[in-house]
Amino acid sequence: MSESLPETPGPTVTVLDYGSGNVRSAVRALERAGARVTLSADPKDVLEADGLVVPGVGAFATVMKELRAVDGLRLIGRRVAGGRPVLAICVGLQILFEHGVEHGISSDGMGEWPGTVKLLPAPVVPHMGWNTVKVPEGSKLFAGVEDERFYFVHSYGVQEWDFDVNQPKMKPPLVTWSEHGAPFIAAVENGPLSATQFHPEKSGNAGARLLRNWVESLPRLSPVPDETTTA
C-alpha cells in the first residue's frame, strides 16, 4: 500500500497589526485561502513572511500616524524595495498614494504611486455595498472573478491615474476601476505590490477567490534580516 505524501504547508502571511479595526475577518479569510497567518507588527514577522497584508479602516491621516507608530511605513517600504509581496486593503490602498485630502486638510501618503485621495463626488457617501469593477487584461489578482461584484465601504478614492508609462525597464501597473459618482481606482497590481479599495474578506466567493489567487502566487522566500539587526 502506498503512503500519501504530506501536504505542503501554505505560504506564510503576516497581517500587519498596527491598530486598524476588522483584522480578524481578514485573518480568517486568508487562512481559508490556504495561508499560515500571523497577526503581528514585529519586524521579523513582517519582513520574513512570504506575504504581508496591510489592512486599513478609518481616516487617511490616522492610518498614516498609526503605521508610523509601529515603524510600519519603513517595513512596508523594505518589502516593496526587496520585491516581497504586499497586499493592501481599503485605506491600506489609499496611503500608498502621494496625498490624502480629508475635510480640506492634506496629508502625505507613502508615495508609491502618484495621485491624491479625495472625497467621491457622489450624491450619497459612503459608497457602501456591492459594485462591479473593470479589470484590465492580464490581471492575475482577478483571474476567474473578472465579472464579479465586490464589497466597498469608503467615502474617498483616487479618481485619476497619472503614471509615467515611459519609464525604462518598468512594466506599467495594472489598474482596475469602479464607479460611484465618478470613476475611481478599485485595485492596483504593480509587481510585488497589490492593493484593493474594496474588502475582499467581505466579498463572498469572489473575494475568497481573489485572496486565493494572491496567496497561491506567493513565492516561498528566504528570510531577509532587518537592517537594524545587521552589522
* Local structure of 38: helix, strand or coil: strand
CA distance 58 to 154: 9
- Are residues 66 and 36 in contact, defined by beta-carbon separation less than 8 angstroms? no
- Angle at the Cα of 184 from the Cα atoms of 179 and 189, rounded to 5 degrees: 120
Residue 205: strand pairing partners: none
Q: Give catalytic residues, as residue numbers.
A: 90, 199, 201
CB 52 within 8 A of CB 13: yes
Q: Write the DSSP string, 134-200.
A: BPPTT-STTTT-TT-EEEEEESEEE------TT-TT-PPPEEEEEESSSEEEEEEEETTEEEESS-G
